[in-house]
Amino acid sequence: MNDTELDRALRSIGMACLVDHIELFGDRRATPTEIAERLNEVTDWTAKSCRSRAGHARRIFAAGRAGDAMRLVASSSRVDPEKAEKARLWAAANPDR
């Protein structure tokens, strides 16, 4: 996954969504379907939207770019400062993911 693909996947998921659900997306035991179902239970998003977000997030993790994605979130001026800080902390604690 190159930087352009990472940026597109991150925009498809939503920066706040990635931060809020990073542990769920990174759960290697969960299938994308299970992740989508869990998202659908805790959000008001449609099932199709949850499947899409889960798929994009799993692609980021599969490519080993989760840390890069969280650093992009942390440096974004368009993200709530609390979420940016959470993203920064996650990226620092998980440098090789």
Q: What angle do CA 2, 86, 95 make, to 5 degrees?
A: 45
Residue 20: per-residue pLDDT? 96
Q: How far apart are CA 49 and CA 28, in angstroms?
A: 21
Q: Which two tokens stand for residue 51?
A: 């499947």
The pLDDT score that the predictor gives to residue 68 is: 95
pLDDT the model gives residue 95: 77
What pLDDT does 23 receive? 93
pTM: 0.88
User: Residue 97: its pLDDT value, please?
Assistant: 76
Yes or no: say if 79 and 87 are a contact pair by the CB < 8 Å rule.
yes
Please report, for residues 12, 61, 66, 72, the alpha-carbon distance to residue 6 in angstroms, rounded to integers and kept in the order given.
Answer: 10, 10, 9, 10
Q: In the chain, which stretches have pLDDT less than 50?
A: none
- The pLDDT value given to residue 4: 95
* Residue burial 75-88, b: 16+ Cβ < 10 Å; e: rest: eeeebeeebbebbe
